[in-house]
């Protein structure tokens, strides 16, 4: 991502150091951050990205040198661990051979930093006039890809623990708030009568309550 860097500031001394790349989410144990191309995100949804640059491979549908970056919070160094092209090869079959320009819109580590979940969306076009969302997870090193939901409806989410992530998304009972097991893909509706619409779901620290 051109022009953006994450800044870490000591709240007591106010001393700041810059990392090589911007960060979208941080490992709960503070070891690393995960970043995406914020220019590409801006071109997809301006309220979610940064408007300051052109970005790497902006015109390409799913470049092999852009995607998910892992940023070491100690050294500040960054490296690509999962490319957009790898993601497309893994899940793009949904579109029946039609090329799509894709973007990572949201990305978050689980509660122990061993895996991350991310939303892959296609740019709307004359061919596909509205975006569709796939839910994928990967190991902290960008390996062991899993497809929790093919391209359809998926919105807000929150990790319950290192294995289960709660999503408002499509499922066997229609759009509902589901707990999805990252290992088995099993879905459980949380409260069919209460969670009637999408919302910014989040668990309390003890995981007994949900806001």
pLDDT score recorded for residue 56: 60
pLDDT at 32 over 90: yes
Place of tokens 């973007």: 103
- Helix/strand/coil for 40: helix
State the average pLDDT over residues 108-115. Answer: 98
DSSP assignment letter at 96: T
CA atoms of 117 and 58, how far apart (whole Å): 23
Paired residues of 78 in beta bridges: 71
Structure tokens at 13: 């001394």
- C-alpha closest to that of 51 among 60, 59, 43: 43
Q: What does the DSSP assignment read for 67-95? A: EEEEEETTT--EEEEEEHHHHHHHHGGGG
As a residue count, the chain comes to 211
For 30, the token pair is 């503070």
Taking the C-alpha atoms of residue 38 and residue 58, their distance in angstroms, rounded to an integer, is 11
Give the model's pLDDT for residue 1: 40
Percent of all residues in the chain with a pLDDT value above 70, rounded to a whole number:
97
Q: For residue range 145-190, what is the model confidence (pLDDT) as tens digits? A: 999 999 999 999 999 999 999 999 999 999 999 999 999 999 999 9
Query: Tokens standing for 93?
Result: 């079959």
pTM of the complete model beyond 0.75: yes
- The pLDDT tens digits of the residues spanning 49-86 come to 888 766 667 889 999 999 999 999 999 999 999 999 99
Structure tokens belonging to residue 185? 């893909």
d(CA 195, CA 197): 6
């Amino acid at each position: 991502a051109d022009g953006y860097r994450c800044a870490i500031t000591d709240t007591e001394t106010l001393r700041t150091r810059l990392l090589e790349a911007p960060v979208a989410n941080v490992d709960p144990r503070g070891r690393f951050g995960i970043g995406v191309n914020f220019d590409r995100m801006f071109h997809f949804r301006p309220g979610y990205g940064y408007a300051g640059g052109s970005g790497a491979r902006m015109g390409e549908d799913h470049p092999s040198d852009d995607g998910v970056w892992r940023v070491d919070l100690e050294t500040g160094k960054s490296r690509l661990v999962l490319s957009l092209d790898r993601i497309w090869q893994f899940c793009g079959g949904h579109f029946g051979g039609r090329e799509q320009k894709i973007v990572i819109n949201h990305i978050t580590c689980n509660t122990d930093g061993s895996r991350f979940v991310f939303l892959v969306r296609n740019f709307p076009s004359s061919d596909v006039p509205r975006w569709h969302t796939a839910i994928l997870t990967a190991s902290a090193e960008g390996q062991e890809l899993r497809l929790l939901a093919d391209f359809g409806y998926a919105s807000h989410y929150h990790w319950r623990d290192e294995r289960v992530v709660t999503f408002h998304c499509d499922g066997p009972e229609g759009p509902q708030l589901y707990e999805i097991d990252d290992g088995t893909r099993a879905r459980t509706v949380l409260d069919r009568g209460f969670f009637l619409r999408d919302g910014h779901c989040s668990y309390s620290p003890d995981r007994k309550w949900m806001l």
